[in-house]
Amino acid sequence: MYYIGLMSGSSADAIDTAIVEFNKKATLKFYREYPIDNKLKNQIQLINQKSLADFAALDNQLGHKFADAVNEILKEANIDPNQIIAIGTHGQTVLHSPDAKNGTSIQISDPNVICAKTGITTVSDFRRMDMAFGGQGAPLASAFHEYQFKNDDKSIVILNIGGFANLTLLPSNKSEIIGFDTGPGNTMLDAWIKKNKNYEYDKDGLWAASGKTNSELLKQLLTDSYFSSKIPKSTGREYFNLNWLDANLKKLNKKISNEDIQATLMELSATTIADAVMKYASKFSEVIICGGGVKNASLIKTIEKLLKDFKITTTSDYGLSPDCIEAVTFAWLAKTRMENQPSNIPTVTGATQKAILGGIYSPIKTN
């Protein structure tokens, strides 16, 4: 029997879809990334400028899109839907604002539609129960990182680089596990190249590599209070975006080439990651990287240079592709919900207590 995990990150470029078996550890049985077309991607990225009716329509549309991903992967893998215990769907984040007066986090892709269209129990809305107990609702992957990667013989850092970068610190002893967003991962790089070259992303970081880091701009960006703020903390596109970059460029008031800005944004991601590792995990021995950022060769090379005293590996060295980790995480979160087990880590999210995360949507079984 299996679980399915569904994830679309801040780049909104694909639905990561994983079929997972759980014994003592997660085993990936099948994985696909189903592309989100540019028209739908633009709707997602502009939804905060649209009406409530548009919001509801997009929620429904994404529900169908996510359900189609499930049905397609089952067909490709030749697995009967009755072999799936539950689907865990993260959905598509359209708002993550944990520090606002009425903080919340909203993900869309209607789970009612997913359940109805697949005939499979669907678990969703994982973040807000943690937030109801005072947490950030993020990062949630830390609990899965503990389940899958914790090693009693060595202290390791799991570094996930998606649109944003986050760390999970897994000490070998019984010390507290902590995790948090370090800041931008790929999001600013993607946004800047989209604006200037109309590319969806900087392949292999080649455009960034063609420029030179502007030390004055880097220094200006690093003055942002988020980077020095206390943990637990998490962030999103509501904070780090082109408006944020433009405001910093205006403060600097200096002519900088577009490729040098891209190089500086890459250095910002690498520097804030490395600074966080050195601040909280200087005595750890290994950094294990996952997420789409693994494909940015220039970014990884820069991180390796900054963290030269650490062994740098990827989750591939431990049996799971870096691309699939977040989808597998939500399969695992569905499993914990179906077993009525808590799946947040209060020292990571800041919640006042452990909590059972996710709402369950169940079909009527006819056989």
pLDDT digit string, tens, across residues 241-256? 999 999 999 999 999 9
pLDDT at 365: 79
**pLDDT > 90? residue 267:** yes
pLDDT at 324: 98
Bridge partners for 5 per DSSP: 18, 88
Bridge partners for 21 per DSSP: 27
**pLDDT > 90? residue 169:** yes
Q: CB neighbours of 347 closer than 8 A, spacing ≥ 6?
A: 176, 177, 178, 232
How high does pLDDT run on average in the chain? 96
Helix (H, G, I), strand (E, B) or coil at 188: helix
CB 15 within 8 A of CB 64: no
Q: In the predicted model, what is the mean pLDDT of residues 49-70?
A: 97
The torsion of the CA quartet 257, 182, 246, 39, rounded to 10 degrees, works out to 90
**pLDDT > 80? residue 366:** no
Say whether the peptide bond before residue 342 is cis (omega within 30 degrees of 0): no
Among 38, 36, 97, 39, smallest CA distance to 237 is for 97
Distance CA 238, CA 67 (A): 27
**pLDDT > 90? residue 25:** yes
**pLDDT > 90? residue 233:** yes
How many Cβ atoms from other residues are within 10 Å of residue 341's Cβ?
12
CB 132 within 8 A of CB 349: no
pLDDT at 332: 98
CB 114 within 8 A of CB 87: yes
Tokens of 290: 């996952």
pLDDT tens digits for 124-165? 999 999 999 999 999 999 999 999 999 999 999 999 999 999
Query: Which of 73-87, 89-103, 276-290, 340-354 is predicted least confidently?
Result: 89-103
Percent of the residues in the chain that have a pLDDT greater than 90, as a whole number: 96
Phi, psi of 158 (to 5 degrees): -100, 120
**pLDDT > 80? residue 115:** yes
Q: Tell me how far the alpha carbon of residue 87 is from its chain's centroid.
A: 18
pTM of the model: 0.95
H or E element in which residue 242 lies? helix 242-252
pLDDT tier, 367 (very low <50, low <70, confident <90, very high otherwise): low
Place of tokens 């939804």: 47
pLDDT at 101: 85
pLDDT tens digits for 312-360? 999 999 999 999 999 999 999 999 999 999 999 999 999 999 999 999 9
pLDDT at 1: 97
Please give the domain boundaries of the chain with CATH numbers for all domains: 2-137+324-361 (3.30.420.40), 141-322 (3.30.420.40)
Percent of the residues in the chain that have a pLDDT greater than 70, as a whole number: 100
pLDDT tier, 174 (very low <50, low <70, confident <90, very high otherwise): confident
